[in-house]
Amino acid sequence: MSEFIQDKRREVEAEAKARSSGMGRHILVGLLAAVCIAAWIAPYPAATAPAPVDPKVERASSRMTLFLAAQSVTHFRAVRGRLPTSLAEAGVESALIVFNPGLDGSFTLSTHVRGQSVSYDSSVPLQSFLGQAEEVISQTGH
């Protein structure tokens, strides 16, 4: 009989341990759920606004963009013997550049920077159009 009582005592103790560890699991799950909800709702730290771009760098960058587009158009003309009908045909994907082909094989490219027009005319040598743009861009690391 004492053996039966000891077995029952062990069973009761085991059930008590199981209940207490089950309670601990419930508390742990509740805490983890609360942390996940807080992380989901909490705002991300706001990034600082980027520094304004120097107008000289913007202008140099637009010159470089037109320079590269002009190279693509010039290469297209050299290979195909005609001007492209659009910049996209020459491989230039930019909605910010206006392409105006001339009847004599010349062309102009233009864009706007801070309300001012920047234009390239194919009668001007590309290197002279580029000017100091490479140096300005490389000095700023852009």
| Length of the chain, in residues | 142
9 and 34, same domain (yes or no) = yes
29 and 71, same domain (yes or no) = no
φ and ψ at residue 108, rounded to 5 degrees? -130, 150
77 and 115, same domain (yes or no) = yes
DSSP code, position 42: S
Q: Model's pTM, two decimal places? A: 0.61
What mean pLDDT, rounded, does the chain reach?
82
Percent of residues, the chain, with pLDDT higher than 90: 30
Q: For the chain, first and last CA: distance in Å?
A: 89
| Tally of structural domains, the chain | 2
E-strand stretches of 15-138 = 98-101, 107-113, 116-121
64 lies in which domain range? 55-140
40 and 62, same domain (yes or no) = no
Quick: pLDDT tens for 37-86.
777 787 777 677 777 778 888 888 888 888 989 999 999 999 999 999 99
E-strand stretches of the chain = 98-101, 107-113, 116-121
Quick: pLDDT tens for 10-41.
776 777 666 655 566 777 778 888 877 777 78
Buried b (16+ CB within 10 A) or exposed e, 6-42: eeeeeeeeeeeeeeeeeeeeeeeeeeeeeeeeeeeee
4 and 42, same domain (yes or no) = yes
Report helix, strand or coil for 1: coil
